[in-house]
Amino acid sequence: MTESTTVPTGASTTASPVLRLRDIHLSFGDHEVLRGIDLDVSAHEVVALIGASGSGKSTLLRTVNLLERIDDGQIFLQADDISDPRTNADAVRARIGVVFQSYNLFPHLSVLDNITLADRLVHRTPKAASEKRALELLDSVGLADKARAFPDRLSGGQQQRVAIVRSIATEPELLLLDEVTSALDPELVGEVLELVRALKSRGTTILMATHEMAFAREVADRVAFLHEGRIEEIGPPSRVLRAPERERTREFLARFLPPS
Ligand SMILES: Nc1ncnc2c1ncn2[C@@H]1O[C@H](COP(=O)(O)OP(=O)(O)OP(=O)(O)O)[C@@H](O)[C@H]1O
């Protein structure tokens, strides 16, 4: 029996997963924030992490990108054990796209330069090829006319869409989205969610933390409900988010309760 079939993570396909988390533990001082997480994300799958504020969603995403080092367990990206301390973190990060809550664009670079920077520096893609691809991506999200603009000339929703375009410009194997709509005014949320929907339809493999329950229901193949550092429930949105009262309670908790 292979390792990927020994843990009941509820993965929806039998293909080798893009990401495998095995018994992940992580503490900050005395506070054990991740308490034995097992999770597979298959190719082209969208998995949404939901849970109250402080349940460990962001921390889990940060461990995958090696921004936090785990205390115990293993993280596999494709066949590679990236939790091995000898792993080159920069090489791993070049394979994973990340978008955080605040857009984090470089303010002194144009939209085009923001998008092409990693491709040119990390992947050594020639400037012309990198810009051609970036312009195609911008065009596909309706932002081609902003290519030469600087971030401060864009709305929050436009900045976040550029950040997402930047994260996929290098064609990462996995995309991590951490509350990508939380910092936005409500009227700007829709355009960002629309872009995530488009990524899903292109087959991007996504692990995302979200408080947007309706969105998780619509876009996620599976939803993982985190509670106090453990995955309490995982499965199709129709099952995990089945009770409207529970959904509302979770949304309320996630938005308003301070981290424990
Ligand atoms: N660098 C750190 N040092 C100490 N404690 C931390 C650190 N990062 C996170 N924590 C704690 O870990 C717990 C989990 O935080 P995390 O940000 O992962 O939760 P979350 O589920 O993403 O919350 P939210 O929905 O509010 O973003 C919280 O109690 C938080 O205070």
Q: Which of 202, 106, 83 is nearest to 152 (CA)?
A: 106
**d(C-alpha 96, C-alpha 75), whole Å:** 13
Domain assignment present for 151: yes
Average pLDDT estimate for 193-218: 90
pLDDT of residue 33: 97
Which residue range forms the structural domain that includes residue 160? 106-171
Q: Which atom of ligand 1 is nearest to the CA of 68?
A: 1
Q: How far is the CA of 119 from the centre of ligand 1 (A)?
A: 31
pTM: 0.86
Q: Whose CA is nearest to atom 24 of ligand 1?
A: 53
- pLDDT beyond 50 at 206: yes
Domain assignment present for 245: no
The structure tokens 């969208």 sit at 46
Domain count, the chain: 1
Domain assignment present for 181: no
Helix (H) or strand (E) holding 206: strand 206-209
**What 3-state class would DSSP assign to 216?**
helix
Confidence tier at 107 by pLDDT (50, 70, 90): very high
ipTM of predicted complex:
0.96
Domain assignment present for 180: no
Domain assignment present for 128: yes
Q: Whose CA is nearest to atom 9 of ligand 1?
A: 59
Best residue for ligand 1 mutational test, from 27, 30, 31, 33 (most atoms within 8 Å of Cβ): 33
pLDDT of residue 256: 66
Average pLDDT estimate for 16-21: 95
Domain assignment present for 16: no
Side chain identity at residue 31, one-letter code: H
Q: Which of 3, 60, 62 is nearest to 35 (CA)?
A: 60
Domain assignment present for 257: no
